[in-house]
Structure 1
Amino acid sequence: MKIFQPYKNIIASALNNDSSGILSKSFSESEQSIKMFSVKDYETYKTKLSKPDDLEIMARHMGVNTFSDQKVGQHPDFIHLKGTKEKEYHNIVSVFIDVKGSTNLYKKYDNETIFIITDTIQLLGITLCKIFGGFIHRLQGDGLFVYFGGKEVNKKSAIIQALTATSFFNSFLENDLKHLFEMHNIENIRTRIGIDFGDDSDVLWAMAGIEETSEVTTVSLHTSLAPKMQQYAENNGTVIGKNVIDFGQLEKILYSPIEERRYIYQDQSKGLNYGQYKFEWLKFLKQLNYIVTSNIDGSIEMKPTSPNYLDGLGSAAIKPIAELNRPWLKRS
């Protein structure tokens, strides 16, 4: 998708730092050093990376309240628990994003190049989650643990926001990055995502640890299940718990049972068989009012999100949009 082009450009530049000699053997040593995309270069570009405007507008239209000035492990709605023995119950969506495949990069790239690639991917994940109301609770290697929801967010909205952010992230890994890695004949970095929802009576918020080695976190079956669910996800796929379906009021076409292990948690004493499901993130994205699908190749792009976008525009400006939706439109 075009909205991810700045992130894609950085990764493409880093992938050209091929230390195996396949891409660089025709250059002299001095020419190779000039062509290397360094961490210093990355830091310059990184500071200029902005949140995609179209996605921010989309989030506002969805009524998303973002958490600004985030500090990892300090959800603003529960930070008052920091340094106390107090406990509080409140619903939350737990999202575990696991990024796999970076180990394969060591066959061709040095540590600095691998850092550029993996940090850019993680940075996009952080950006997408923050745009759609997520709170970054923890960085876990290349991956993320994120909460969606809070005291000013209703349950269904929190779930839809989590599904939206992670679906865009899946799309980036499955489409934009996949083609880049294929060009360099290396195994693609991929993601697996687990998402579950715990209701008010199921999620305990409290301070874990002591003094400065502490964080405000949750104790809940559903917090624990999100990381377990990602293990059953396909590459660039998402697995969701039954609560996500029920509280998110998802249509049946958007999920199907995980046949390998239909119940991610069972407690016979309580008669509990808690199901996990494959989430059809591409179908979900295509249903959004903000997405346009090409009838030519099935690719997806953002619609112009400004309500006044077409005001005063002539046919020349509208034509690129029409071409995506009307394959019979004649092209000059």
Structure 2
Amino acid sequence: MNISVATYGSHSALQILKGAKDEGLRAVLLCPRSRRRLYERFRLADELILVENVEDLLREDVQRNLTSMSSILVPHGTIISDVDIKRFVKDFKVPIFGNRELLVWESDRELKEMLLREAGIEVPRAFSSPDEVDCPVIVKLPGAEGGRGYFVASGRDDLIKKLRKMGVRMNRGLYIQEYVIGVTVYPHFFYSPLREEVELLGVDRRYETNVDSLGRIPASDQLNLNVQPTYEVVGNIPLVLRESMLEKFFDIAERFVEATKKLVSPGMIGPFCIEAICRAPDDIVVFEFSARIVAGTNLFINGSPYSYLLYGEGMSMGRRIAKEIRLACETSELEKIVT
């Protein structure tokens, strides 16, 4: 089989490369020069293409190199956050595993909310102005991602006070969302266009600075410290849901897939994550989605409890992607899984 799987050296590259090799496909790494030593330590890439940054993926010589190796690019979060995604979707001519237009929708908060509402999924209230706020909110500054650029305000007055203290203009493209109190849950799904089926391959929670460490400090001391919580993700924690909750999450995931087919043809392809808050086991609110592999799947390079039920040992999300590519090649259905 001449097809190769390519990805950029960041985020979830290690498991994507490992998954490709486990499925008998060539593994190609677009590797930042500054990280060459890191990726060479793991000896997973069959081919190494050195680049300076994500923008270099748009270079004609890089794309020609990928095309010569019959590469399919597996996108991940670094591509979403570190490049003009609209330009990337338009100018990157190499086949991408998944629906490239969904990457644009993921990066646009209004489109993202539209898609979730189309699916009939409950989402937190959003406010177009600080003056509308009547409850605790989480505020995401322009360019916020990976937990960076977020802060919480207890209400309208607290929000205005914090914005003034930060020197942020109130009309500066803020995304103000109701802060829902509950347990954050991040289930990792895979939609197979070949099987027309949604699979659950894992669940995680995120460990964030410094909000998670603040929980170890008594409340009285927190007040004296006057520390502003931050939400930058530094790692992930595996989670197994109550079995009675799985049906609800599958229902959300399947409705999401159907909404993508309606609004963003050809719809969802491959991995996605529903980012949710559980107020109670039967009360779930979805505040985000990711329409590609998420870093939380790195927990399960040798498989999760859920992937084990489906495939036995060793089925990571990276390998599941490679498996879908291999099956599509064998059945001459590549057009169903790449755009």
Task: Report TM bin, short chain.
Answer: under 0.3
Tell which structure's C-alpha radius of gyration is larger. 1
RCO (CA 8 Å, sep 6+): is it higher in 1 or 2? 2
- TM-score, reference length from structure 2: 0.27
Higher strand share: 2
- TM-score, reference length from structure 1: 0.27
